[in-house]
Amino acid sequence: MSFRYTHGEQSPSGLRGWVTDGYRPVPDHLRLMLEHLDGHSNYTYLIWRGADPSSTVGYREPATDSFMQAAGSADAMTVEVRIPGPDGESRLYTVGRPELSEASTTLIPINDTRAARVHSNEVFTVDEAATIFYTYYLTDNVSQPYVLRELDLSQELSELR
């Protein structure tokens, strides 16, 4: 195993550090972190490219304003990504499957009092979210077949649970 530092993380318990393959391969590590989301006390997981991969604390400063985060539980979570849009400006997106979303929506808990409302095609299990996270880890982007829905940051993005 190598200790190649590229991405920082904030675990569901709030601890920050580098994503490494020191104990398990990175895909398994990402899945394990997402598996800890329970929708009751562990709500979110976040990764970003660290500014200084040569430093053991280089994760503290992000290299860019891009990141990927998940919220909810291992059975039902939402995935968001902040990446440059077509105009080069960073935008926040909810990741979804390409199928048409049903009219129904789901509330995904993001903390003790708030929840995000997402479409049915934007709700993932831990396995699918882990694949999305690993692709982001490798490419700093979201790949096919997933689609992105831009979030309007001038609007409230969550509601009371």
Please give the structure tokens belonging to residue 33: 């972190």
| Per-residue pLDDT tens digits for 70-99 | 999 999 999 999 999 889 899 999 999 998
Beta-bridge mates of residue 50: 62
pLDDT of residue 62: 80
The residue type of 156 is E
Mean model confidence pLDDT for the chain? 92
Please give the structure tokens belonging to residue 71: 């919220």
- Residue 52 near residue 43, CB atoms below 8 Å: no
| Per-residue pLDDT tens digits for 20-39 | 898 999 999 999 999 999 99
pTM above 0.75, yes or no: yes
pLDDT of residue 38: 97
Those residues with Cβ within 8 angstroms of residue 138's Cβ, 6 or more apart along the chain or in another chain: none
d(CA 38, CA 75): 8
Those residues with Cβ within 8 angstroms of residue 145's Cβ, 6 or more apart along the chain or in another chain: 97, 98
Domain positions in the chain are: 7-140
**Could you tell me what percent of the chain has a pLDDT over 70?**
97
